[in-house]
């Protein structure tokens, strides 16, 4: 009986390892699910589905005296998005690429993050889980 329980526990741990892989980046860590790849280049982390059906791009930086509203506006202009909208927590969101991609700018006077998600139609749950796993260092 103990051997069966031990085997079941090993299988459960193995299956959870296959689901997600916590990866460390310069400013944060993320759970990257099986079938997805994560890469970091300078101030940009890209997480994408290996079948190219979804992606998450996180850009970090220092505001250099600009407000989050100004940063959101600059990224919105650069990406050809709609007007950034502020939420109750001071974050700014906008859509671009005909609504296929969604962006959020968050942070404070010392640090900001631009988070862009694409592929929410087919990967909404997975993208949400990846974002929920984000832990700042």
Total domain count for the chain? 1
Does position 99 have pLDDT exceeding 90, yes or no?
no
Tokens representing residue 70 in the block:
């100004």
Does position 18 have pLDDT exceeding 90, yes or no?
no
Distance CA 24, CA 133 (A): 12
59 located within any domain:
yes
Burial of 76 (0-12, 13-18, 19+ CB in 10 A): buried
Q: How far is CA 115 from the centre of its chain?
A: 6
5 located within any domain:
no
Structural domain span for residue 108: 19-136
Mean pLDDT, residues 39-50 taken together:
96
Q: Are 31 and 133 in contact (CB under 8 A)?
A: yes
Distance CA 77, CA 84 (A): 10
Mean pLDDT, residues 66-79 taken together:
96
Residue scoring higher pLDDT (73 or 99): 73
What is the CATH classification number for the domain harbouring 113? 3.40.1000.10
């Amino acid at each position: 009986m103990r051997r069966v329980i031990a085997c079941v526990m090993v299988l459960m741990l193995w299956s959870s390892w296959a689901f997600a892989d916590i990866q460390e980046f310069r400013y944060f860590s993320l759970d990257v699910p099986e079938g997805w790849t994560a890469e970091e280049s300078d101030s940009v982390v890209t997480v994408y589905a290996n079948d190219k059906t979804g992606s998450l791009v996180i850009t970090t930086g220092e505001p250099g005296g600009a407000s989050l509203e100004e940063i959101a506006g600059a990224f919105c202009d650069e990406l050809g998005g709609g007007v950034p909208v502020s939420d109750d927590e001071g974050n700014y969101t906008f859509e671009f690429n005909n609504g296929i991609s969604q962006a959020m700018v968050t942070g404070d006077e010392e640090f900001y993050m631009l988070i862009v998600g694409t592929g929410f139609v087919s990967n909404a749950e997975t993208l949400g889980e990846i974002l929920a796993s984000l832990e700042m260092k």
